[in-house]
Amino acid sequence: MNYSAGKIDVAVVGAGHAGIEAALASARLGCRTAVFTINLDAVGNCPCNPSIGGTAKGHLVREIDALGGEMGRTTDECFIQSRMLNRGKGPAVHSLRAQIDRREYGKIMKHKLELQENLLLKQAEVVDVSRGENGAWNVATRMGAVYEAKAVIFATGPYLSGKIFVGEVSYESGPDGMFPAAYLTGSLKKLGIRLRRFKTGTPARVLRSSIDFGGLEVQKGDDPVVPFSYDTRTPGKNRAVCYVTWTNEKTKKIILDNLNRSQLFTGGITGIGPRYCPSIETKILRFPDKKRHQFFIEPCGLDTEEMYLQGMSTSLPEDVQIAFYRTIPGLEHVEIMRTAYAIEYDCADPLQLSATLEFKDFPGLYGAGQFNGSSGYEEAAAQGLVAGINAALKILGREPMILDRAGSYIGTLVDDLITKGTEEPYRMMTSRSEYRLVLRQDNADERLTPVGRRVGLIFDDRWERFREKEAQKKEELARVRNTILPPAKALNELLVSHETSPVSSGVRLAELIRRPELNYGILSPVDAGRPELPAAVFENVEIELKYEGYIKRQKAQIAEMRRLENRRLPADLDYAKMTGLRREAQEKLQRIRPASVGQASRISGVSPADISVLLIWLGKGEGKAV
């Protein structure tokens, strides 16, 4: 028997990385928010990697933080090793990655939810969402409680009709042995939301004392540590190391000999898996000539003996896992604590969503994270933040927050999902952005903190620190552009020692910094007027100087992109009646209903000729575009 549990503004279904950011953002903006989770012990769980960040993902975490989200701050509070990836490449792809204490991460996040004003954290399985009165939604739990909500955010992760596969064994389950969300799928289908079936997997966790670390390559953290959050004044210290090892021909043979016992290849698993994070058996089949595959052994925390085998996910039977793991150097006597598994789950087709992550046909319903077809903690948190902010802004009668491709990786992520859709779990990569030299992680605050301030998630102390940093950067740029160094002996000896040409006349300090052989650190002996500034300011200035020409070129491309983005398309435009459009373009434009000409141009199957027809149509005033 159902009973009324009261009225709330925002209901968040799920308390993983998407649900956490959605709930905190909504509550901090003043909305009465409830976040529901099947098990309170799974709040902020990391069922796969015990890490946050990585290539492109580190950019997302920095952007979440710049907007006022929580992932970066919490990572800084519980990391055990921090590294900047891709230092040997250009600054566009430098990405921070932190090994975390996964239990501590969940503990901290749960406590932040518990302490947050306007927020109720509730252990309950949501089993039904239906239309209520006055545009509200009724959210029913398995215990019979019904909450009336103005907005509902689905952040169900891999729990929605979750099913585990290990060899011939399969059973209904969420990740880490949790109960699945067994009933909500039926409710969503009844509403008319289009769902699909995706799959992901995770490696085994093994006992530290059963590993022989003697011959393994040690991977240490960086010193000094670079924090994720702009709020972190004093970064912590590295307290753990990771290790690298490799598979071999024996590993390969055992896996190939047992593929007939994997439901991934016998048809039991029907969900589509991630292309960019494949199982070890998929890697071996995809790269048959490769003699070995690298993977990493990573600690799950400081107070546990579990070690994570990064890069070795599998759904092969447990006995096969034991056999092939033990062919690998360092793992000859390994003991598995948690068996690797694959998990299938239901998720929504993101083409049903607008740029606010609200369902176009179901006002007040939002999707975030794996529910939208993405993979990864960082992608989930970014979408949760967008959905939570926009749900709250709509309830408060304010303008939505829409991030475009040129302003953030978060904008790229959302635009890719809602415009192109995805036929497999979507993963963010730097190559997905056309503007990655502008969208660096070092300038995430410059790009997005003003947005977070307008939204209301960047408070006064943070805003003042940001303004001070921007002023310091402006002053330092002016200083190095106006400082002229004479052709002194010490200067020329320094230049020649770093294999760059000496100077015969005065040279601006900015011109020396631009030289690829030089940097701020090298030039410090001849830069007597350098002020005491945070390292991040010098980093921003140096990158801006070295890549000034390329950045100007990208900004010109951005201006053209935004010109098309500003050509708005009415939501009720009937593309079927638009003569000159190809049939495929008509069908896709009618289904996706892009908000702008720019978005329409990125839809697969819509050609430049189709865009020309759209522009002509709008030029005639036929579409009444705004």
pLDDT in tens, 249-261: 999 999 999 999 9
Contact criterion met (CB below 8 Å) for 223 and 83: no
Report pLDDT digits (tens) over 554-573: 999 999 888 888 888 888 88
Separation of alpha carbons 523 and 510, rounded Å: 11
More confident residue, 618 or 83: 83
pLDDT digits (tens, 9 = 90+) for 90-120: 999 999 999 999 999 999 999 999 999 999 9
Task: State how many domains the chain has.
Answer: 4
Domain boundary among 310, 344, 378: 344
- Whether residue 162 is predicted with pLDDT greater than 50 in this model: the reply is yes
408 and 333, same structural domain?
no
Whether the per-residue pLDDT at 621 is higher than 70: the answer is no
158/57 same-domain check: yes
Are the CB atoms for 71 and 271 separated by under 8 Å? no
- In the numeric block, which tokens belong to residue 415? 């635009």
Quick check: is 472 in a domain?
A: yes
Same domain, 525 and 578: no
Q: What is the pLDDT of residues 110-160, one digit of tens each?
A: 999 999 999 999 999 999 999 987 889 999 999 999 999 999 999 999 999
User: What pLDDT is recorded for position 560?
Assistant: 87
Phi and psi (nearest 5°) for 244?
Answer: -120, 135
Q: How many CA atoms lie within 13 A of 82 on its CB side?
A: 19
CATH code of the domain covering residue 609: 1.10.150.570
Q: What is the largest CA-CA distance in the chain?
A: 89
Instruction: Give the model's pLDDT for residue 622.
Output: 55
Above pLDDT 70, what percent of the chain? 99
Q: Has residue 324 been placed in a domain?
A: yes
- What are the two backbone dihedrals, phi and then psi, of residue 367, each rounded to the nearest 5 degrees? -120, 150
CB atoms within 10 A of CB 174: 26
Verify that 449 and 472 share a domain, yes or no: no
Residue of 290, 350, 71, 304 whose CA lies nearest to 209: 304
Residues 615, 479, single domain; the answer is no
Residue 559 falls inside a structural domain: no
The DSSP bridge pattern shows strands 195-202 and 306-310 to be unpaired
Residues 360 and 449 in one domain: yes
Q: Does residue 324 share a domain with residue 257?
A: yes
- Cα–Cα distance, 10 to 137 (Å, whole number): 10
Q: Which of 305, 326, 344 is the last residue of a domain?
A: 344
Q: Per-residue pLDDT averaged across 156-170, rounded?
A: 97
Same domain, 572 and 547: no
Nearest to 561 by CA among 512, 614, 599, 515: 599
Domain boundary among 455, 490, 512: 455
The tens digit of pLDDT for each residue in 193-233 reads: 999 999 999 999 999 999 999 999 999 999 999 999 999 99
CATH number for position 335: 2.40.30.260
User: Is the domain of 408 the same as that of 504?
Assistant: no
In whole angstroms, how far apart are CA 491 and each of 444, 518, 532, 551?
35, 12, 22, 29
30 is in which domain, residue-wise? 3-199+346-455
Q: What is the CATH number of the domain that holds 395?
A: 3.50.50.60
Question: Phi and psi dihedrals of 393, rounded to 5?
Answer: -60, -40
pLDDT at 58: 98
Q: 626 falls in which pLDDT band (50, 70, 90)?
A: very low
Q: What's the CATH code of the domain at 522?
A: 1.10.10.1800
Within a domain: residue 333? Answer: yes
pLDDT of residue 146: 98
Q: Could you identify the residue written with the tokens 């009709």?
A: 161
- 121 with 156, same domain? yes
> Is residue 6 packed enough to be buried (19+ CB in 10 Å), middle (13-18) or exposed (0-12)?
exposed
CA distances 485 to 164, 343, 479, 622, Å, are: 66, 62, 12, 62
pLDDT (0 to 100) of residue 625: 42
pLDDT number for residue 619: 78
Average pLDDT over residues 352-381: 97
Helix-, strand-, coil-residue percentages of the chain, each rounded to 5: 40, 20, 40
419, 277: one domain = no
Instruction: Give the span between the Cα atoms of 114 and 24, in whole angstroms.
Output: 10
With b for 16 or more beta-carbon neighbours within 10 A and e for fewer, the 135-147 pattern comes to ebbbbbbbeebbb
**Are the C-beta atoms of residues 13 and 126 closer than 8 Å to each other?**
yes
In three state form, how does the secondary structure of 446-494 look?
HHHHHHHHHHCCCCHHHHHHHHHHHHHHHHHHHHHHHCEECCCHHHHHH
* Residue 560 lies inside a defined structural domain of this protein: no
Average pLDDT estimate for 57-73: 98
**Are 316 and 363 in the same domain?**
no
- Asked if residue 625 is part of any domain, the answer here is no
Judge whether 114 lies within some domain. Answer: yes
Whether 582 is in a domain gets the answer yes
